[in-house]
Amino acid sequence: MPASAFKVLFVGNSFTGFSATTLQRFAASNPQGEDIFHYEYVGGISLSEHARRSQTLALIRDGHWDYVVLQDHSTQVIRHYGHFVSGIKELVTEVRASGAEPILFQTWARLQTGNYPGDQVRISQAYLDIGAELDVSVARVGDLWFEMYRNARTVFDRLFQEDQIHPTDFGTFAVAVSVYRVMYGGDLAWSPTAGVGTAGDVMRTSALRLNVTRAAHYNTVTGRKAKAMCPAIELLLIS
């Protein structure tokens, strides 16, 4: 891995697409060098569909990426759990075969279902489980949104667009701090907060606690995966 300035491919759907502008602001502001990001997303697509899409596979295989960030459809865990697992497994295999390191982009639940807390617990647990099984780092975006739901409701109320599905600038800020925390660690004090103001400080603080850094994920002596910092059982007890 380079000491600074990563080359990263993001694979997903509209959640990734809406996040691109904020991620680019972070890339340009990174004090360790401007990261190179490429986005391969199609609205409404799942990772199991990406795993059979020739354009996605060609990008993974030929891009010489440092990281590939994988974002599944937000309802896949609930509606098609088997496809959720198989899609991630297939793409993680492809990413590792290419020499890159995968990161899972844990999604947020849809507010418009009327069961946001319960859905988020299921989604969060599924990503943590598959991440532990495959030894893959998880950018815990959904857990960061849930943290705002529990402890900073005024911030949470600004994460969703009117459709109660897609992210506002506040929501995409949560994506960026979560992904950057996993990739680089650090306190993210440099992160650009234009458009989110002091709410950015609240989300950044939570992101530092929730997201295990790449260095912590892989024990440098044994190569064994670090334990999750916030066990999923806590979410079950709170919901």
What confidence tens digit (pLDDT) does each residue in 205-230 have?
999 999 988 766 654 323 444 333 33
Model pLDDT for residues 89-121, shown as the tens digit of each residue: 999 999 999 999 999 999 999 999 999 999 999
Q: Is residue 136 part of a domain?
A: yes
Structural domain harbouring 71: 7-238
Return all residues near 29 (Cβ < 8 A) that are at least 6 apart.
190, 191, 192
Model pLDDT for residues 47-70, shown as the tens digit of each residue: 999 999 999 999 999 989 999 999
Give the domain CATH number at 224.
3.40.50.1110
Q: Is residue 2 part of a domain?
A: no
Q: Answer yes or no: is pLDDT of 204 > 60.
A: yes
Q: Is residue 1 part of a domain?
A: no
**For residue 229, how many other CB atoms are within 10 A of its CB?**
12
The per-residue pLDDT of the chain, averaged, comes to 90
Residue, of 235 and 121, whose pLDDT is higher: 121
Q: Is residue 159 part of a domain?
A: yes
Main-chain phi, psi angles of 120, to 5 degrees? -65, -40
Number of structural domains (the chain) is: 1
Helices (H), 31-168: 47-50, 54-62, 76-79, 81-97, 116-134, 141-151, 153-156
Q: Is residue 72 part of a domain?
A: yes
